[in-house]
Amino acid sequence: MAQSVFIRHRKGRGVYQLCWKEQGRERTKSFKTRQEAEQEKHRRLQLIAQGCTPEPFDGLSTREKRDLFFLHDRATNNGYNLWDAVQTHEKFLSSERPPAVEISEAVAMCLQDKEAEGDSPRTLQSIRSVLLRFAAHCRGKALCDVKTADAVAFVDGMDISLRTRLGYLGDLRTFCSWALKRGLLKNNPINEAMPGKATRRRIMQAKRTRRMEQVLSVEECHLLLSWTEKNDPELLVYPVLCLFAGLRPEQEATGIDWPSITISHITVDAAIAKDGETRIIEPLTPNLVEWIRFIDSKGVNPFPLRNLRRRWDRVKQVLGRKWPHDAMRHSYASYHFAMFGNAGLTAKNLGHPDTTLLRKDYNGAATKVEAGRFWKILPGSGSGNYPCNDLDSLNYPIQYQSEQI
């Protein structure tokens, strides 16, 4: 065993490395002087000779180490050591009633755990707001004494929509599920407070209705494109990429460059993609190919799009109604899925990890007839003038044949 611990001088770095093998892998620890490295080597060899592990935490994952130090601090601050904490927990597991922890204290513990687990700031802010309000509603009550009626009274006391009510109860259920795993509850009282299937269906239908309102009509798409082509032709590439390629309007359609756009495919680089991964949009629909050729025929590189917000605000005004959130990308998703019925292809081009969101939010948002008209919008076609009467004349590639994935 002693032979497996040795010192290596790294002249290039000016350090002395203590090296040893652990679980078949070489481990190293650097020191500025050989004397320091020799002292550590001597210490390790002594521990090994005594049958001890020099680095007791080396076998733990980063998260396990973090949890261990967190628990050590919590126990120390309350006058316990870890052994006392383990014994107390074992006694609790054998008891019928969970410990009486106040809701406010449990909320603080839960939020600390969620933050340590890497939940996004936006998620933490949302759940923090709900949990703190619920803790104030149940002020002074122990978490183990919370009943279903407390959650119902909490949401009933607010003037909120059914959708918001479902969201609040969902956050409370997540909190109680965490408490259940921590041994602070014997069951989850929020489960019985959740709305029934009929209510949830009504909420989801309302959500789908709002999503459908975010889809631009074929006439509105024509209006946007024709107005832009006439009044700000250098901006035309922006709505074309959002409507017919599904690029995200904020970072993707504004960050892409002209060499990334060809008549066979469009490359969305990882640097501008929302998920940080490069994606290829292909095959391109024939009408998009015609739009790309039309823009390229002008002989001017349309990028970068300068003063985009001011220029696009002018275009949106021609719509004559409030601009729906992410309207062009939602329109692409709805019309593409409605036309080709290939959830996997549509999701891939959108940059979605799977088809769940697509099927839930976009299925039925547009009819196939409407989609057929949308995918026939060509440069210079003018409002209402669709030059092609059937899809076959557009020579759609074989990849677009309906394929449920």
Could you report the per-residue pLDDT of 296-333, keeping only the tens digit for each?
998 878 888 889 999 999 999 988 888 888 899 999 99
In order of 174, 176, 228, 290, 306, the CA distances from 232 in angstroms are: 50, 55, 5, 19, 12
| 266-270 mean pLDDT | 94
For residues 135 and 26, which has the higher predicted lDDT (pLDDT)? Answer: 135
For residues 195 and 295, which has the higher predicted lDDT (pLDDT)? Answer: 295
What local confidence, expressed as pLDDT, does residue 265 receive? 95
Token pair of 122, please?
């936006």
What local confidence, expressed as pLDDT, does residue 160 receive? 78
For residues 98 and 348, which has the higher predicted lDDT (pLDDT)? Answer: 348
What local confidence, expressed as pLDDT, does residue 228 receive? 93
For residue 388, pLDDT beyond 60: no
What average pLDDT does the chain have? 81
- 103-195: what fold? DNA polymerase; domain 1 (1.10.150)
Determine the Cα–Cα distance for residues 149 and 351; give it in Å rounded to an integer.
Answer: 42
Closest CA to 107 of 89, 88, 128: 128
Q: What are the residue ranges spanned by the domains of the chain?
A: 2-49, 62-94, 103-195, 213-400
For residue 1, pLDDT beyond 60: no
**pLDDT tens track for 75-114:** 777 777 777 777 776 666 555 566 788 888 899 999 988 8
What local confidence, expressed as pLDDT, does residue 392 receive? 42
For residues 51 and 235, which has the higher predicted lDDT (pLDDT)? Answer: 235
Q: What is the arrangement of strands in the sheet containing 15-22, beginning at the earlier edge strand?
A: 6-10, 15-22, 25-31
What local confidence, expressed as pLDDT, does residue 364 receive? 76
Strand partners, 261: 266
Q: For 338, list phi and psi in degrees, rounded to 5.
A: -65, -35
For residue 399, pLDDT beyond 50: no
| 19-38 mean pLDDT | 81
Strand partners, 16: 9, 31
Token pair of 179, please?
């408490």
Q: What percent of the chain has pLDDT over 70?
A: 81
What local confidence, expressed as pLDDT, does residue 304 receive? 87
What local confidence, expressed as pLDDT, does residue 310 receive? 92
Determine the Cα–Cα distance for residues 311 and 288; give it in Å rounded to an integer.
Answer: 22
Q: For 194, list phi and psi in degrees, rounded to 5.
A: -65, 140
For residue 22, pLDDT beyond 80: no
**Bond prior to 283 in cis (omega within 30° of 0):** yes
What local confidence, expressed as pLDDT, does residue 54 receive? 61
Second-level CATH architecture of 213-400: Orthogonal Bundle (1.10)
For residue 58, pLDDT beyond 70: no
Q: Let me know: does 303 contact 235? Beta carbons within 8 Å.
A: no
Q: Specify the range with the lowest mean pLDDT, choosing from 285-289, 293-297, 395-399.
A: 395-399
For residue 141, pLDDT beyond 80: yes
Q: What percent of the chain has pLDDT over 90?
A: 32
For residues 202 and 265, which has the higher predicted lDDT (pLDDT)? Answer: 265
